[in-house]
Chain A
Amino acid sequence: MNRSRLVECVDRIVDPVRAGEKRKDRMREELAAHLSASHAEELARLGDDEAAVERAIARLGDPAELTRGLQAVVPLLERWACAPVPWLGLLDALDRVLRRRPDETPLRHAVRVTTGFVVVIAAAELVLLSAVAKLGVRPRSDSTISLVWAVGSLAVVAVGGVVLPLFVGPMMRAMDGPRRSRRRLALLSASSSLVVIALGFGFAAIVWLGGPGAGSFDRTAALRLAVGSLVAPAALIAGAREAILRRRRRDGWEIAQPAR
């Protein structure tokens, strides 16, 4: 309750500032640390939690004025680069849909997002195929091969989409907190690479089952798979880092805990 009041106060001040997220995160965390300390001080003085929160917020000053003060220290170029753009609202909406909900398990989240992606890809493939059929364009390969490739790619997206995000949680624990371990992070990265390689072989198996004319697993495909297996852990680590920053900002602050 108090934590959320204090975090809300920080957000009200920093959110409207036109600056990069890194700079804004720094402002948020620093103001949160300050509020946390003044809250602890007021709590010791007043003995009432609600009153301490109110007093800590009042001590900080007028939020609009603080926003203006913080905005003034942002370099002009950065301010210009972070100016609101018309389609940003759309990206924010997409981010809200894709983000894990507070009561959602990692598995459920991965299944929800992947199902969405698979449905969108399948719909796009159907639209494309029907458009090709209507236009009377003669495909380079026969329809069975196209179907095998479409099913194979969908299966890879579905399995990868569910399995790979499950690495993010353990990676976050390996990167941050009391149980952080570089060795475990390396192990998880290697495992995610193996998952990508396994998906590649799975795709090759589907194609192989589709018949001799469906294509083969040549050297170019192996190269693509190797690159993909290296990109996956990097992307997952970047995702975990972003999630850590977000968690620090929102949940990890334990803002109502007295700062020692």
Chain B
Amino acid sequence: MPRIERDTLRGHLEGMVLSALDRGEAHGFEVLRRLEELGCGSLTLKEGTLYPVLYRLEAAGLVKGEWEDDTEGRRGPRRRIYRLTEKGRLDLARRREDWTHFVSVIGRILGAPS
């Protein structure tokens, strides 16, 4: 299967992250895991690029991040757990609608027989 590189993903990453968080709260590493799993191994993403996206979404109020409780015995630096806000859920629904419309229109054009 051809790999989908970062440039192709540009503009869609925020929606994809929101969608990954729609499955439940997660830290950054887990979000990437979900994206890989949903992408069936076709996504090629430099992992660090996720964090500016998460920060943008948080600043826009679409996700809310909280440090995990560091007293639970896990060693190492604390992870920040993100969850969708109500605003984020509405935004994701709008993005899904837009995407369905986009795919149906472009699909009709590209799929039309000559």
Chain A residues close to B by CB (< 8 Å): 13, 26-27, 29-34, 36-38, 59-62, 65-66, 69-70, 72-73, 75, 248, 253-255, 257, 259-260
Contact = CB atoms under 8 A, between A and B. Distances in A.
A73 B59 contact: yes
A30 B75 CA distance: 14
Nearest to B56: A73
A70 B51 contact: yes
A59 B109 CA distance: 37
B75 A257 contact: yes
Given A34-B29, A60-B47, A61-B47, A248 B74 contact: no
Contact of A60 (B46, B55, B74, B79): B46
Interface in B70-88: 74-80
B29 A62 contact: no
A interface: dominant SS: helix
Interface of B: 27-29, 46-49, 51-52, 55-56, 59, 74-80
A175 to B, nearest CB: 13
A259 B76 CA distance: 7
Contacts of B49: 61, 65-66, 69
B65 to A, nearest CB: 9
Nearest to A58: B46
Contact of B75 (A31, A69, A248, A260): A260
25 contacts: A13-B48, A29-B77, A29-B78, A31-B48, A31-B51, A33-B76, A34-B48, A38-B29, A59-B46, A59-B47, A65-B48, A66-B49, A69-B51, A70-B55, A72-B52, A73-B52, A73-B56, A75-B59, A248-B77, A253-B77, A254-B75, A255-B76, A259-B75, A259-B76, A259-B79
Nearest to B79: A33
